[in-house]
Structure 1
Amino acid sequence: MAAHKIAHASYRGPSVVKEILYGISLGLLAGGLWKMHHWNNQRRTREFYDLLEKGEISVVVEEE
C-alpha cells in the first residue's frame, strides 16, 4: 500500500497581537458608547435646568 500524504491543519494557539488589538478595539468601542450615554444625560439635565430657570416648567405641583 502506498502511504497517503494528507495535509493536516495544525493548531498554533492564540495570536497575542491579535488578542491585544481585539481588546483595544472592544474597549474603545465600549468607552465611546459609554461616553455618548453620559453626554446625552448631561444634555438632558442641562435642558431641564434651563427650562426651570426660564420658568417654562415647574417642579411644584399646582394646587386647585
Structure 2
Amino acid sequence: MRNEEYCPECGETNFGEGKSHGEARVYPMKKILTLGSDVTHVICIKCGYILKSFVKEPHKFEDK
C-alpha cells in the first residue's frame, strides 16, 4: 500500500497482508474446471480492519 494511506477506523499507517484459510478461494462463475485464486487481505496491524481484499491471480477470471 502507499505510505499516505491510513486505516479509516483507527488512523494507523502500518499494514500487513494475510490470506483466507481453508476453502476461501474465489472461482470464476462461467468456468467449470479451474482452481480459482486465493484471496489476499490488507489488514491494519493495530485494529484488524481489512482495508482491501483481492485475488492473487486475476488472469483466471478472463472471459475467453
Instruction: Indicate the TM-score class for this superposition, using the shorter chain for normalisation.
Output: under 0.3
Which of structures 1 and 2 has the larger relative contact order (alpha carbons within 8 angstroms, sep 6+)? 2
